Structure 1
Amino acid sequence: MNHVPRHVVIMGAAGSGKTTVSTTLSEHLGWIAAEADEFHAPASIASMTAGIPLSDEDRWPWLESIREWMSTQAKNGRSTVIACSALKRSYRDVLSRADGRVQFVHLDGAPEVLSDRMATRRGHWMPVSLLPSQLSALEPLDPDEDGLTVDFLNPPGSISTQILEGLIIPDS
């Protein structure tokens, strides 16, 4: 039986716990983890730090670089877990074209919790002022997309269990 590399994209608005959940899941599975923020161009990071939302034109090269990274990992037989906002269906469509099977997990919940989390986290350049633009851009997973939605208020371990069961990921 051939092993088809898989990519699980942990998506959602800022403050939903993408990095925490992706780290927990990648450690459990032994898969390579990536933080999509690390793929942004310096000019994009500077814009967001200044409170200026990115346009779709700013995002396309970023999404394509993430997709290429995913494909490279797949070509080398490696599965991945990626923390990436993937707010719009069109963004997820770009990522879905990576080699291997791409699945999405939307971390969803109350916007007030997101702003509280963003206000208290340390070491991140994304200001709370950009949360409304993220929430207005956010398009939940469509029924034909490969993935599931999970409440981000659950503990990371519980979320990982829901992901493992919901996406039917065999023990690695």
Structure 2
Amino acid sequence: MIIVMMGICGTGKSTLGKLLAGRLDVPFVEGDDYHLPEAVAKMAKGEPLTDADRWPWLDRLSAAMGEWSAKGEAAVVSCSALRRAYRDRLRAAAPDVVFVYLEGGVDLVRTRMAGREGHFMPVALVDSQIADLEDPRGEPGVVSVSIEGSPDEIVTRIEGALKKQD
């Protein structure tokens, strides 16, 4: 199974993904590593990405996920996957994908983003991410988990939600 930790910036996709991957003893893959340098630079300047910026990223990530899926390899991947079309692209490549939708209040997300260091994504992009987000609840292969609580508590809830998917 490939698990995609999805949601807007600041929801803890990487932090929670690493913790979940450790608990499941599978690799963690940072989805941001598949962005073109130009896209990272654009975000770092506080400019929201467009679909034209995102499709090459999603193509590279979905190709990798397709390879893992074809080999029967498991992984936990961080990827915002804000729009259904993006999630559908990933589903087409890896039919065994499950999305963990990390949802939380805007104030909590802003607070978390303001406190993190060494990340290219500025707090200013929260609003554009919210505007782009198409709520995935109700789609196949999606579990929704609140980001309230400690990382350990959240990951425990994720594990419980994933067990219900089986």
The bucket for the TM-score relative to the shorter chain is over 0.9
Q: 2: CA distance between counterparts of 1:160 and 1:142?
A: 19
Question: What is the correspondence of 1:18-167 to structure 2 with a 5 Å cutoff?
Answer: 18-167=13-162
Any idea what the Cα deviations from partners look like across 1:22-79, whole Å, max 9, x if unmatched?
Answer: 0011001111111111110001011111111110111011011111111112233310
Gapped runs of 5+ residues in structure 1? Answer: 1-5
Higher helix share: 2
Q: Give runs of ≥4 in structure 1 deviating > 6 Å.
A: none
Q: Percent identity?
A: 38
Gapped runs of 5+ residues in structure 2? Answer: none
Would you say the 8 A contact 2:2–2:94 is kept in 1? Answer: no
Q: How far did 1:156 drift?
A: 1.8
3-state SS of 1:167 partner: helix
3-state SS of 1:97 partner: helix
**Structure 1 length-normalised TM:** 0.90
Would you say the 8 A contact 1:147–1:167 is kept in 2? Answer: no
**Structure 2 length-normalised TM:** 0.93
RMSD: 1.5
Q: How far did 1:167 drift?
A: 1.8
Would you say the 8 A contact 2:8–2:133 is kept in 1? Answer: yes
Q: Which residue of 2 aligns with 1:3?
A: none
Q: How many corresponding residue pairs?
A: 165
Would you say the 8 A contact 1:32–1:80 is kept in 2? Answer: yes
Q: 2: CA distance between counterparts of 1:167 and 1:114?
A: 23
Q: 1: CA distance between counterparts of 2:113 and 2:58?
A: 23
Which residue identity does 2:54 align to in structure 1? R
Q: How far did 1:100 drift?
A: 4.4
Would you say the 8 A contact 2:5–2:17 is kept in 1? Answer: yes
Q: 2: CA distance between counterparts of 1:144 and 1:87?
A: 13
Q: 2: CA distance between counterparts of 1:112 and 1:147?
A: 24
Which residue identity does 1:112 align to in structure 2? D
* 2:4 counterpart (2, 9, 14): 9
Would you say the 8 A contact 1:32–1:78 is kept in 2? Answer: no
3-state SS of 1:58 partner: helix
Would you say the 8 A contact 1:103–1:146 is kept in 2? Answer: yes
Q: 2: CA distance between counterparts of 1:169 and 1:148?
A: 9
Any idea what the Cα deviations from partners look like across 1:126-168, whole Å, max 9, x if unmatched?
Answer: 1111110001111111413211111111222222222222122
Q: 2: CA distance between counterparts of 1:50 and 1:137?
A: 18
